[in-house]
Structure 1
Amino acid sequence: MFKLKKVSISLLVFLMAISILAGCNSNTNGKTEKASGGNKGGKIVVGFSQIGAESGWRTAETKSIKETLGNSPDFELKFSDAQQKQENQIKAIRNFIAQKVDVIALAPVVETGWESILKKARDAKIPVILLDRGIKVKDESLYTSFIGSDFILEGENAAKELINLIGADKGANIVELQGTVGASAANDRKTGFANGLKDNPNFKIIKSQSGDFTRVKGKEVMEAFLKSDGKNIDVVYAHNDDMAIGAIQAIEEYGLKPGEDIKVVSIDGVKDAFEAAVQGKTNIIVECNPLLGPQLAQAVKDLKAGKEIPRWIKTEESVFVGKEAAEEALPSRKY
């Protein structure tokens, strides 16, 4: 009996020692997991709310982020497609907060209406990084950084190259295909283009309407422009390539030659636009780089390392004018 009790006591002491050691290890792991968002694999969890897939450019951006973060051992990517509806993005952000992600990446469908949900993210101590479109909020601390282009500069560059192409002394009647109403890209590209034309009053915007950044809607709006004022249109300026391609289809069906009878200017730089330029159907392409995955990944890593990141992380972009420039650039286009 004595020996049995002695063994039992020794076993009990041994088990207690193991329990204490396990408890120490658990605390250490808990700290590590907290620093990485509570993921057992130590990954940085990123929730990405995408606008949708309204254009080739948007699809390229999604692909870049999925390939960069989704295929990396350093990240866990949670993706949500909003189908171009702000209410879906707000719902997605609410879910990301509930899931306690480390960082939220948001490509906002419109500029306004974000204060309430972003305050919830800030209260949860989850930084928000905006992608490719800005927002308007009274308190700019609601988001940490913006990764994307200077949309106003893009519009200004479009106007500058158009004036160079046609000649400042000649002038032109321009129809404008705007992007989604309320989107920062649409607002700024409109403002920038108008800024670029202001010193050349013989370049006039005679009609302007939203084509919602889609090829189908761009064609539909261009058809209406041509029906009402086809003989007076010299140029179509589209806020993105997809609307421009829709406009090209409408011009051809109307019996005119895009790129010749009506000059075509657009922004983004997708492959389809370069192919149209090679065929002489479009004249000026202002690049807007959608391959934001690497910049987002680096920004998130820097944030998790406690580093301060820039308020605006700009993308590098070019302008392509004419058939030769398009032919040279087309083989290397990744989107």
Structure 2
Amino acid sequence: MKTLLLALGLATALSAPVLAQEKLKIGATVYGLNAEFMQIWTAALQKHPAVQSGEVEVTVFDGRYDALVQQEQFNTMITQKYNAIIFVPMDIEAGAAPVQAAVDAGIPVVGSNARVNSDVLTSYVGSNDVEAGELEAKAVLDKMGCKGNVVIIEGPIGQSGQIQRLEGNQKALAACPDVKVLEQQTGNWSRAEAQTLMENWLTSHPGQINGVIGQNDEMALGAIEAIKAAGLNVSDFAIAGVDGVTDAINAVKAGEMASILQDANAQAQGALDIAIKAVKPDYQPQSAIWKQYPSMGWEDGKAKTYLVPWTPVTTANADELLKSRQ
């Protein structure tokens, strides 16, 4: 009998630390993985020290640019009792219901990169998209000397990046009343869709387009492809995008466009640190991004918003940024 009690006591003693060290299961649903920016964001999650050490297991779900797909992914994570969820929503409004469902099930949700209209998020880790829209539009307008005609290629209608960057675009345009917007349409963050739009606009407005405001780099790059395919000189246009993807950095080096870096690594790893903190109250952040951007301030992981600063891409820092991708 003593032997049995001893064995039971030993088993209990051994099980306690095993339970305490149980690997956290965190899911991330992102709006889509077709383009480089979200691929960089996803890779950054897997490179987080807590994932590398085995403390956390991260599963990334491809939302396939569909809010309903993301809602189903939330249902899966709720059913499978994930410890926390990181959300990069396709739609600012449609994303609110699944967030509420997860929180009602006791699962904390951290927003990253794109916003959702919900006040039950644990926190949001991203960048100021109004500022980005104003910066990119100003780069285009400065090159144009505040005169001429522009086209605006928007992100997916209803996503926070499209809404907020357009607000920034319009702020910059308001300072240049002599500039006319000839066309404004969504390219859905897609290089191919933007190329088709630009091809059509070059035909509809021959010799009239002076500037292109692409709300992300992929779409600005699509416009550049259309300009080249039409046999026109890219340097005759003022073009800007947002994100600092690899091809855009090279295009900045070539003098073809302007861009600002949206730090996917900082957004993803910051969101994961916050998600772990929401599950483990004594957790201290492990990502180096908090030292890289001291202005963000860890604030014990309890701030509602963490904004990663924008970095203009220039010919001076382009090679350094490219090296960080290797």
What's the TM-score once normalised by structure 2's chain length? 0.86
Shift of 1:130: 0.8
Rate the CA distance shift 1:214–1:326 in 2: closer, same or farther, 3 A.
farther
CA distance in 1, matches of 2:42, 2:92: 20
Amino acid at match of 1:245: L
Q: Say whether the 8 Å CA contact 1:270–1:333 is kept in structure 2.
A: no
**Which one has the largest radius of gyration?**
1
Q: Say whether the 8 Å CA contact 1:112–1:135 is kept in structure 2.
A: yes
Amino acid at match of 2:323: S
Note the alpha carbon deviations across 1:159-183, whole angstroms, 9 max, x for none.
Answer: 2333333324xx1211011111211
| Farther off after superposition, 147-156 or 69-78 | 69-78
Which residue number corresponds to residue 303 of structure 1? 278
Amino acid at match of 1:285: S
The 5 Å alignment of 1:1-335 reads 13-18=1-6, 20-22=8-10, 24-25=12-13, 28=16, 33=19, 41-68=21-48, 70-137=51-118, 140-141=119-120, 143-168=121-146, 171-258=147-234, 260-282=235-257, 284-291=258-265, 292-306=267-281, 307-320=300-313, 324-325=315-316, 327-334=318-325
Shift of 1:50: 1.7
Shift of 1:94: 1.0
Q: Say whether the 8 Å CA contact 1:43–1:74 is kept in structure 2.
A: yes
CA distance in 2, matches of 1:162, 1:174: 9
Instruction: Give the paired residue count.
Output: 306
Shift of 1:267: 0.7
Shift of 1:334: 2.3
Q: Where does the alignment leave 5 or more consecutive residues of structure 2 unmatched?
A: 282-299
CA-based RMSD of the aligned residues comes to 2.2
| Farther off after superposition, 302-311 or 145-154 | 302-311
SS in 2 for 1:182: coil
Shift of 1:262: 1.6
Amino acid at match of 1:223: E
SS in 1 for 2:172: helix
Q: Where does the alignment leave 5 or more consecutive residues of structure 1 unmatched?
A: 1-12
CA distance in 1, matches of 2:136, 2:226: 21
Q: Say whether the 8 Å CA contact 1:277–1:326 is kept in structure 2.
A: no
Shift of 1:91: 1.1
SS in 1 for 2:166: helix
SS in 2 for 1:232: coil
Rate the CA distance shift 1:205–1:325 in 2: closer, same or farther, 3 A.
farther
Amino acid at match of 1:17: L
Rate the CA distance shift 1:17–1:320 in 2: closer, same or farther, 3 A.
closer
Q: Say whether the 8 Å CA contact 2:25–2:83 is kept in structure 1.
A: yes
CA distance in 2, matches of 1:160, 1:182: 23
Note the alpha carbon deviations across 1:180-224, whole angstroms, 9 max, x for none.
Answer: 121110111111110112122012222101111011111011111
CA distance in 2, matches of 1:71, 1:218: 37
